[in-house]
């Protein structure tokens, strides 16, 4: 699985002009299930994200996890993280099939929540408008193949 994390002061996702998920301070997590991914990859990714110390402590050092800071996560499916860029027009065949991608997205969301982190979501497969204020800026790319 792949994910892009952005530390945010706020973030929201809208579908057809209606907000379907929003958070205050926390993480915007764009996530993509790849072909061949399993629940084990989702578990590994969720555990890593929950423990990443990328929020500032009282001394201003990145020393707190999203949970330690009492923050939330907005999780949005993002199949374009699987882009194959060998040509000028991206291909997305490395992404999991839609039904499997949705299953793993939903599973990943439950794993983040199980870590004690409040979760808001986008709508899998929908055309979404995502708004965020990246704090820092802090943006981190993760791939379970390299964790």
Q: Which among 55, 79, 108, 144 is annotated as catalytic?
A: 79
Q: Which among 78, 108, 109, 144 is annotated as catalytic?
A: 78
Round the CA-based radius of gyration of the chain to a whole number and report it.
15
DSSP-derived secondary structure letter, 99: H
Geometric angle at alpha carbon 55, from 111 and 123, rounded to 5°: 40
Question: Active-site residue 110, yes or no?
Answer: no
Question: Active-site residue 78, yes or no?
Answer: yes
Q: How many angstroms separate the Cα of 47 from the Cα of each of 76, 109, 127?
A: 17, 12, 28
Q: Which among 80, 92, 110, 139 is annotated as catalytic?
A: 80
Question: Active-site residue 92, yes or no?
Answer: no
Residues annotated as part of the active site? 78-80
């Amino acid at each position: 699985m792949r994910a892009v994390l952005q530390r945010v002061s706020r973030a929201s996702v809208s579908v057809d002009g209606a907000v379907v998920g929003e958070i205050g301070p926390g993480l915007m997590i764009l996530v993509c299930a790849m072909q061949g991914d399993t629940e084990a990859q989702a578990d590994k990714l969720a555990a890593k994200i929950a423990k990443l110390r990328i929020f500032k402590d009282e001394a201003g050092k990145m020393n707190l996890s999203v949970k330690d800071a009492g923050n939330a996560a907005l999780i949005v499916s993002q199949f374009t993280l699987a882009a194959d860029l060998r040509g000028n027009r991206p291909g997305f065949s490395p992404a999991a099939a839609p039904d499997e991608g949705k299953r793993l997205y939903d599973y990943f969301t439950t794993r983040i929540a199980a870590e004690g982190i409040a979760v808001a979501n986008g709508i899998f497969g929908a055309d979404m408008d995502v708004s965020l204020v990246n704090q820092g800026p802090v943006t981190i790319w993760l791939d379970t193949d390299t964790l």
